[in-house]
Amino acid sequence: MEIWINPACSKCRSAIDLLDEEGAAYTVRRYLEDVPTPDEIREVLDRLGLEPWDITRTEEAAAKELGLKEWARDAGSRDRWIGALAEHPKLIQRPIITADDGTAVVGRTEEAVRDALDRG
């Protein structure tokens, strides 16, 4: 299991606390420092079953500067969104937990983190 975190994020810290309480084996990726490539973002999106706009923090300053709220949300715009996430990783919703079964969850709630734990 891997968890993408921003250490300043309370939801990330809560997710790590829960993983630790449950004795889960996981690795931490500080995605603001170890920025995911566009291909890694595509892989996580596939595992999540989501589109890039679904995991974009549209209220961040960078999102407003880019005008993301006005961007098309369709297959033809997918690579543009992924490029923005790779260039501005702060826009990526967090924490993201990749489970050993090939799936992933956005672990913003205790239920989502437990779901990832159940998947191994």
CA–CA gap between residue 80 and residue 52 (Å, rounded): 9
Contact 54, 29 (CB under 8 A): no
Is 12 a residue of the active site?
A: no
Q: Which one is catalytic: 1, 2, 9, 24?
A: 9
Peptide bond preceding 36 in cis form (omega within 30 of 0): no
Task: Show which residues are catalytic.
Answer: 9
